Amino acid sequence: MSKKLEGKVALVTGASKGIGASVALHLAEEGAAVVVNYSSSKEGAERVAGEINGNGGKALAVQANLSKEADIRRLFEKAHAAFGRLDILVNNAGVYEFLPLEQVTPQNYHKMFDLNVLGLLLASQEAAQRFGPEGGSIVNISSVAATGSLPNSSVYSATKAAVDSITRTLAAELGPRKIRVNAVSPGMVETEGIHAAGIAEGEFREQVEAKTPLGRIGQPKDIASAVVFLASPDASWISGQSLLIAGGFRG
- For the annotated catalytic residues, the residue numbers are 156
* Bridge partners (DSSP) listed for residue 243: 184
Question: Rounded CA gap, 221 and 40, in Å?
Answer: 23
Q: What is the DSSP string of 50-114?
A: HHHHHTT--EEEEE--TTSHHHHHHHHHHHHHHHS---EEEE---------GGG--HHHHHHHHI
Region label for 46, one of left (φ > 0), alpha (ψ between -120 and 50) or beta (otherwise): alpha
CA atoms within 13 A on the CB side of 219: 2
Residue 250, classed as helix, strand or coil, is: coil
Question: Rounded CA gap, 186 and 249, in Å?
Answer: 10
Contact by Cβ (8 Å): 26, 88 = no
Contact by Cβ (8 Å): 123, 72 = yes
Question: Rounded CA gap, 225 and 152, in Å?
Answer: 30
Side by side, which strands form the sheet with 88-91? 59-63, 33-38, 9-12, 88-91, 136-141, 179-186, 242-245
